[in-house]
């Protein structure tokens, strides 16, 4: 969560809650919903922090670290990386009562220093390299069926401020069992009249 000139506070909160509802309505076994958190911003978003805590305790989500700040960790010292990850882990422990295992670095940054410090904290450093664009995954379901989601195990990246309709389309494809069935059931969502 970061403040945005494009979103009022209320609209930002509503967008995050909306995305969460879409993911929550998806059938089990298709998605592992993993919000990543820019921790220093969360004091400004108690409503989202509360949602994260509740859904983490309910085992519906497994939030992970994005960073203490949304910076390029590839351009800072090991000392800064270590300090930031330590603060992140303390926040997760004290606020969400949860221990993350992944550090999904901003902009997919990777350096040997980042990898070494992540390892010191028993974190897996995840970059954007293995991510699949949402549009491509939707096309894969159209061509190869809904099992492209379930068994392809793709890693998809999406920010809360994006329109989100591709996420909704993907969850509806899973819910209806195929691209064609979702398109028939939700022509409004797939541009059909």
Range 73-82 contact pairs with CB under 8 angstroms and sequence separation of 24 or more: 73/105, 73/106, 73/109, 73/111, 73/114, 74/105, 74/109, 74/110, 74/111, 74/114, 77/113, 78/113, 78/116, 78/117, 81/113, 81/114, 81/117, 82/117, 82/120
- Say what the pLDDT of residue 167 is: 86
Q: Evaluate if residue 1 carries a pLDDT over 70.
A: no
The mean pLDDT value of the chain amounts to: 87
Same domain, 111 and 168: no
Question: What average pLDDT does this structure show over 30-45?
Answer: 87
Question: What average pLDDT does this structure show over 82-86?
Answer: 98
Same domain, 80 and 118: yes
pLDDT over 70 for what percent of the chain?
91
Task: Please give the residue that has the higher pLDDT: either 25 or 151.
Answer: 25
Q: Is residue 14 part of a domain?
A: yes
Q: Are 2 and 70 in contact (CB under 8 A)?
A: yes
Question: What average pLDDT does this structure show over 6-20?
Answer: 82
Question: What average pLDDT does this structure show over 42-61?
Answer: 91
Same domain, 147 and 122: no
- Say what the pLDDT of residue 29 is: 75
Same domain, 116 and 140: no
Q: Is residue 49 part of a domain?
A: no
Structural domain of residue 120, as residue ranges? 64-129
- Say what the pLDDT of residue 193 is: 56
Question: What average pLDDT does this structure show over 35-45?
Answer: 90
Same domain, 68 and 118: yes
What is the tally of structural domains in the chain? 2
- 117 pLDDT band, cuts 50/70/90, is very high
Same domain, 113 and 137: no
- 3 pLDDT band, cuts 50/70/90, is low
């Amino acid at each position: 969560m970061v403040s945005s000139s494009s979103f009022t506070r209320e609209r930002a909160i509503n967008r995050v809650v909306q995305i969460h509802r879409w993911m929550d309505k998806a059938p089990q076994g298709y998605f592992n919903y993993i919000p990543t958190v820019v921790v220093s911003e969360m004091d400004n978003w108690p409503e989202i922090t509360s949602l994260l805590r509740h859904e983490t305790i309910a085992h519906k989500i497994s939030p992970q670290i994005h960073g203490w700040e949304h910076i390029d960790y590839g351009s800072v010292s090991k000392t800064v990386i270590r300090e930031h990850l330590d603060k992140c882990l303390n926040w997760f422990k004290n606020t969400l009562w949860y221990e993350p295992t992944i550090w999904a670095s901003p902009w997919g940054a990777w350096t040997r220093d980042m990898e070494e410090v992540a390892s010191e904290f028993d974190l897996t450093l995840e970059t954007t390299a293995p991510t699949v664009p949402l549009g491509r995954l939707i096309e894969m379901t159209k061509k190869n069926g809904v099992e492209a989601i379930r068994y392809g195990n793709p890693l998809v990246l999406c920010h809360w401020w994006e329109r989100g309709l591709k996420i909704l389309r993907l969850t509806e494809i899973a819910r209806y069992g195929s691209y064609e069935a979702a398109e028939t059931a939700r022509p409004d969502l797939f541009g059909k009249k």
